Structure 1
Amino acid sequence: MKKILIINLRRLGDVFSTAHLINSLTANGENQVSLLTYKESSKASNILKNVSNVYEIDRKELITLKTNKLFSDGFAFEQLFNQISAVKTQEWDQIINYSNDVVGAYLSSYLKESCKQVIGVHYNAQRNVIMQNEWELLFNDVLPVVKYAPIHFVDCYHKMAGATLVKDGEKLNTNAKYNEMAFNNINAVRKQHSTNECKAIGIQLKTADASKDIPEETLHELIDLIRSHEELIPFLLIAPNEDERRLAESFNNAHENELVVVEADLQAMASVLMNMDMLITPCTAIKHIADLTETPVLEVSLGHAPFLKQGTYSKDSLILTDVISNREFTKENATSGTAITALDIMSCMLYALTRSKSIKPRLSTNVTLYQSSFDQMGIRYTPVAGTVNTKIEIHRLMSRQLISTWFEQNPDMHIYQDVCNLDLNAATEWTNSEKTVVTSVMKDILGTLRSLLQSAENKKSSKDFVMNLGKLISHIDSESLVQIPVSMFKSKIEAINVKSFEENSKEVEMLLYELKSDMQKILQCLQELEVQINSSKMDDMITRNLESTKL
């Protein structure tokens, strides 16, 4: 049995999302998984199923010791070592740095002596960053650069750990008493309505970040729309704290105190969600609980919520967002305001509740609805209604295709068809543009190689090599497929340990030839897409001819 430690020093939602990897790692019964989290996040980790042990770091205590001028910084370090001593004294087969931040990297580095393998960012004795595989490079150096992420964090962690995604299985420890209470109470509310077939709609009012909140006026309008349908019952879901109680009271007052308010802690919330027909929520930890209980989710993605990387992770769930060309996914650049209306949310909710899905919802201008599904790499978000930026969607799909072809040697033919279904002319134009960029990068690779070889013969030529290398790396700013391999090339260049000039030159030369090979993989994807485009155009032409002969 392998002993695995997962370090996750992030917020509650991130800790809950770890459950997908834990479920996959423990599905065969051969692995024992433990968690290292901050004390304030342990209330999430303690209800995750299949976790053998939870180890805590009391961050508040450490900060108090570090910032108090009466104490030496050594007291904080001593207390940290005491808190993780139970982890340090054990032997681990694998440590996974799920945080992938600086603190997680240092802890992974400190613990690696008692571990056979560390997955995720950590350091060697010279404080150089160590990464084990291409997936780690992708996660750490590509996904932060690429504006529209082609792969979800959960799937990337599975690939980094070499784990096969297992969707089935219980992922939360629920309380039998809470389950019974939630079932009885929600059914009692249903019986008060005209039909027992009423759908229970949970509405999460608040997030930890005001920029991600659904506007209050929009929520009031949405509640009125839901209440106008006899077969729908809105439930306000709140956490057991005074701020949310006051907010729920204010909402209830505006609706004649007729709303059902459900106050629950994290474990009780899991029981509540199991009895809901749908959850409507902005980006909160509650959406992750809903995913784990397999409750359908309509996520309203606002502010800097990175739904392409960390959106709701369950089949057929929906994400409503402003068209992504208008979105900024970093807190510093995120804009306030949204085009999403209460009617948009209501239309998407009704669409989600219908079985046929034949009639798409009509949405406001510059609003898009995405539906989630699973393919061979994991979760994939597909626009199903509203305003669609075709160029961005083609690029996002083909980035995913490149990764699948490059890392997995397994192209997904459905992606080519989805691109063709978006717009054949736009796909042709995008393909031609990409080929032009690839040609430019190939020229810069050859120029860099030439100047590198010349500098080996004459060190005065090193200036030309540096200029050519800089020009090549500048393609990292290109919003095209080349951004992915060039970003990884840059990271590998930066990770080269300082050796002799000849040794470094040889290593750079190998990386340049590797990058050239990666460009060939891009061309391979583009050529296959062209084949599919031409085939689709031919099919369209035959269909039109047949229809004209019938007339």
Structure 2
Amino acid sequence: MKILVLQLARLGDIYMTWPALRAIKRMHPNCELHFLTRSKFGAATEGLKVVDHHLQMPTKFFLEPLIQPTLDLEDAMKRLGTFVDALKAEEYDWVINYTFSPASSYLTHAITGPKTRVTGYTRHSDGFLGIPDEVSAYFYAQAGVTGYNRVHLTDLFISMLGYDYVDSDWDPPQVDGRDFGLPEKFILAHIGASEAKKSLPPFKWARVLKNFFDHNLETPVVMIGAANERNLGEAIEAGVSRGRIINLIGQTQLREVFHLLKSAQMLVGCDSAPMHMAGLTNTPCLNISFDSVNFWETGPKATHSFIYKASFPEDVVSEELGAYMHQVLQGKAPAELIQRSSGLESYQVPQEDPQELFTWNLVQALYLSGNFPVTDNLQFCQAISKIYEVNDLARQNIRQIPDKGLEVMAPLLDRADEVIAAVARVMPSVAPIVKWYQTEKARIPAGSQEEVAQWTLEVHEKLQRILSVYMLEDSIKAHESNFKE
């Protein structure tokens, strides 16, 4: 069997893919496993022994003709076509797309043969997005910064395969590394991130470290980061008057970070590749997370890890974070922090927002056979009632397509979708249901008018059954009575 896994996102996403790749090789030891990444992030595969062939997508090479003084679209398409043809010639038995992007879906479709099994985003024969598996449909509907998902990406990856992890899937790589003359005990601090909005500014880092040293002068802090972040490191050093800082920013190869993580007592940093590398070395982490990321999906997976959550970098309280660094280092579990836990949800939140919990329970009911959560929110029930009414009318319109024709009924169906989407914007708590519905509609493949109408009707029928849970007459009357009181 020949298997191709695509991961065209950044470094951290590649490291989060490692355990799934190991699981694939473990379940199919005789397979020929190929792994495709962008050339820019190819270094994140060093030490990944289970991959037989690491393929690199030279994005810059494809775009080069488009950024020349004389635009050459034909040359760009020719370069891309040659790359795609080479992949298609491999005749893969199974293509697994872990990228979750529209662009990657086109590539997946282009290299897929008639007998190829596909997992992850692809394209239908008519060019529309294809979502063949249930986990990818779940991701499309519920994941992302604005979504409601609480399942970690690494767990979604393995669920797409239908496998389970074993401990060895999370083993650290055997890579060479230097000790840099470091002391026996130290904290590792990664000061950067893939985007500025995901990281702390230098003055804030300096205040955090200063406050840490107020509690602990014995443990040095080793800073790491990219070469273009050296000036940030120098600014941080200048702002810390006591304690010992060892500045290795720009002095480490990516694979050497594994060596440092193995020796470190703890990693402190924002959402970044080292935070995901620490999951493979099981190094305790203190992750600084902002609203620009979804910590449920990309937080640290190492045991005894914690998350300090703030809306924006400027909201970080330096005194608090410095004290938390010391407490975690001492093996304590600060009650105010989000804590790593086991199970479907990888983290335990100290003070759960009732509305967020209700929404998550609703998601579990839709996808994981959980019980639909009870609510006394009249506005929620009214929104459900409105969607129920509109959906019922849409079902009637679909049944009239054979008699009145699609040209007549299509505008009415489009209007129904617009109203349903508008209800979700007004009442966000019903959004998981609406997003489920929209995704199921998007998954309908190309077919004859009769086939598409039947498949569409089936989606509306499923939606009506879901809505009916909250359409019990006695329940609505009770809500209205409580509201009046």
What range describes the TM-score normalised by the shorter chain of this pair? Answer: 0.7 to 0.9
* CA–CA separation in structure 2 for the residues paired with 1:211 and 1:461: 48
SS of the aligned residue for 1:280 comes to: strand
- Name the amino acid aligned to 2:360: L
| Letter of the 1:185 counterpart | G
Does the CA-based 8 Å contact 2:34-2:52 persist in structure 1?
yes
1:89, 1:114 within 8 Å by CA — same for their partners in 2?
Answer: no
Deviations 1:289-339 (A, max 9, x none): 1122111111111362332332223344211112xxxx4xxxxxxxx5532
| Residue 395 of structure 1 pairs with residue 395 of structure 2 | no
CA contact (8 A) 2:203 2:235 kept: no
Does the alignment pair 1:490 with 2:438? yes
Pick from 170, 181, 187: which aligns with 1:185? 181
Aligned residue for 1:331?
Answer: none
Per-residue CA deviations over 1:409-442 (Å, capped at 9, x if unaligned) read: 4x49xxx9xx9xxxxxxx8646x66555434433
Q: Deviations over 1:427-484 (max 9, x none)?
A: 8646x66555434433333333344445655569846655445433444436555423
Contact 1:437 1:480 in 2 (8 A): no
Question: Residues 93 and 116 of structure 2 are in contact (CA less than 8 Å); yes or no, is this contact kept in structure 1?
Answer: yes
How many equivalent residue pairs? 467
- Cα distance in 2 for partners of 1:348, 1:131 equals 42
- Helix, strand or coil for the counterpart of 2:113? helix
Provide, for residues 46-87 of structure 1, a one-character-per-residue CA deviation record: whole Å limited to 9, x for no partner: 333422211112222221123325574333333334445553
**Conserved in 1, the CA contact under 8 Å of 2:66 and 2:72?**
yes
Residue 300 of structure 2 is aligned with which of 312, 316, 321?
Answer: 312
Whether the 8 Å CA contact 1:56–1:83 is kept in 2: the answer is no
Distance apart, 1:273 and its partner CA: 0.8
Match of 2:348 in 1: 382
- Cα distance in 2 for residues equivalent to 1:465 and 1:107: 32
| Equivalent residues in 2 for 1:210-249, closer than 5 Å | 210-230=196-216, 232-239=218-225, 241=227, 243-249=228-234
- Is the 8 Å Cα contact of residues 95 and 115 (structure 1) preserved in structure 2? no
CA contact (8 A) 1:23 1:166 kept: no
From 296, 308, 314, give the equivalent of 1:338: 314
Q: Distance in 1 between matches of 2:74 and 2:99?
A: 25
- With over 3 angstroms needed to count, the CA separation of the structure-2 counterparts of 1:495 and 1:169, relative to structure 1, is closer
- After the TM superposition, which residues 70-149 of structure 1 pair with which residues of structure 2 at under 5 Å, given as runs? 70=70, 72-83=72-83, 86-113=86-113, 116-144=116-144, 146-149=146-149
Secondary structure of the residue that 2:259 maps to in structure 1? Answer: helix
Task: Kindly indicate whether the alpha-carbon contact (under 8 Å) linking 2:2 and 2:33 is maintained by their aligned counterparts in 1.
Answer: yes
Name 1:360's counterpart in structure 2. 335
Q: Equivalent residue of 1:207, what SS? A: coil
Counterpart check, 1:203 vs 2:189: yes
Return the alpha-carbon distance in structure 1 between the equivalents of residues 145 and 469 of structure 2: 20
- Judged with a 3 Å threshold, the aligned counterparts in structure 2 of structure 1 residues 472 and 220 are, in CA distance, closer, same or farther, namely closer
Moved more, 14-23 or 484-493: 484-493
Equivalent position of 1:60 in the other structure: 60
What is the alpha-carbon distance in structure 2 between the residues aligned to residue 303 and residue 398 of structure 1? 21
Aligned to 1:158: 158
The TM-score normalised by the length of structure 2 is: 0.83
Q: Check conservation: 2:391, 2:460, Cα contact below 8 A.
A: yes
Q: Which residue, out of 366, 380, 387, partners 1:441?
A: 387
- Distance 1:143-1:353 versus aligned 2 partners, 3 A rule: same
Equivalent position of 2:481 in the other structure: none
Q: Structure 1 stretches of 5 or more lacking a match?
A: 191-198, 328-335, 362-368, 420-426, 528-551
1:13 and 1:489 map into 2 onto residues whose CA distance is 31
Name which of 266, 273, 279 aligns with 2:267: 279
Change (3 A) 1:248 1:274: same
Q: Indicate the SS of the match to 2:181.
A: helix
Tell me by how many angstroms 1:278 deviates. 0.8
Q: Distance in 2 between matches of 1:260 and 1:163?
A: 42
SS in 1 for 2:189: strand
Secondary structure, aligned partner of 1:298: strand
**Alignment correspondent of 1:424:** none
CA contact (8 A) 1:238 1:264 kept: yes
Q: Distance in 2 between matches of 1:498 and 1:142?
A: 24
In structure 2, the CA distance between the partners of 1:523 and 1:174, relative to structure 1 (3 Å rule), is farther
Percent of aligned positions with the same letter in both sequences? 18
Q: In the alignment, does 2:270 pair up with 1:270?
A: no
Who is 2:459 aligned against?
Answer: 511
Tell me how far apart the structure 1 counterparts of residues 21 and 438 of structure 2 sit (CA, whole Å): 32
Separation of aligned partners in 2, 1:73 and 1:465 = 39
Classify the secondary structure of the residue corresponding to 1:87.
helix
Q: Is the 8 A contact 2:92 2:113 kept in 1?
A: no
Q: Please give the alpha-carbon distance, in whole angstroms, between the structure 2 residues aligned to 1:277 and 1:54.
A: 32
The corresponding residue for 2:478 is none
Q: Distance in 2 between matches of 1:52 and 1:478?
A: 51
- C-alpha contact (below 8 Å) 1:4/1:92 kept by paired residues: yes
Query: How far 1:148 sits from its partner (Å)?
Result: 3.7
Tell me the CA shift for residue 168 of structure 1: 3.8
- Once residues 441 and 172 of structure 2 are traced to their aligned partners in structure 1, the CA distance between those partners, rounded to angstroms, is 43
Note if 1:372 corresponds to 2:340: yes
Provide the C-alpha distance between the structure 1 equivalents of 2:400 and 2:113, rounded to a whole number of angstroms: 43
- Of the structure 1 ranges 20-29 and 79-88, higher mean CA displacement relative to structure 2 is found in 79-88
1:428–1:492 Cα change, 3 Å = closer
Provide closer, same or farther for how the CA distance between residues 225 and 317 of structure 1 changes in structure 2, counting only shifts above 3 A: same
Equivalent residue for 2:480? none
Cα gap change, 1:92 to 1:48, in 2 (>3 Å):
same
Does the CA-based 8 Å contact 2:84-2:110 persist in structure 1? no
1:55 aligned counterpart, secondary structure: strand
Name 2:9's counterpart in structure 1: 10
**Partners in 1 of 2:265 and 2:359 — Cα distance?**
31
The answer to whether the 8 Å contact 1:150/1:399 transfers is no
